[in-house]
Amino acid sequence: MELNRSIQTALSSLKLNDARMRIAAENIANASSTAQTPNGEPYRRKFVVMESRQDQETGASLVRVGRVMRDRGQFSTRHEPGHPAADANGYVKYPNVDTLVEQVDVREAQRAYEASLYVITSARALLARTIGLLRE
């Protein structure tokens, strides 16, 4: 049934966007984290790589988290000679996390999550109406 496929697709989107929001929240939480030792690496930004597939049984198009990868971008540095993670020149590496970008990612994932939830709610209502009509 087409509505079941729609629900399956929307459910897979819910799971994917939940993961996107969790990863972005983790990035925001670690945006100020530094290494514990001099010349150590601070937290690296993570991002979700989406993977799509076709459900063999129902034919539904599904999405899921393919992998969670680390951003290989440059760290920012600040001159803080007294910091425990400062190098010989007094510079401390900070994560390659831009909190504004992460906030946009959270908002985008949240909107996609809400849209998927709306699809599920609508499909369930249509199924309930169909069952009601069949009982009459």
Give per-10-residue mean pLDDT for the chain (136 aa).
Answer: 86 96 97 89 96 90 95 94 92 96 97 96 91 87
- The pLDDT of residue 2 is 81
CB-side exposure of 133: number of CA atoms within 13 Å? 6
Question: Cα–Cα distance between 42 and 92 in angstroms, integer?
Answer: 9
Domain that holds residue 94: 2-135
- Which of 22, 19, 14 shows the shortest CA–CA distance to 113? 14
- The pLDDT of residue 38 is 84
Tell me the three state secondary structure of residue 90: coil
Q: What is the number of domains present in the chain?
A: 1
Question: Cα–Cα distance between 51 and 16 in angstroms, integer?
Answer: 9
How far is Cα of residue 30 from the mean position of the Cα atoms in its chain?
15
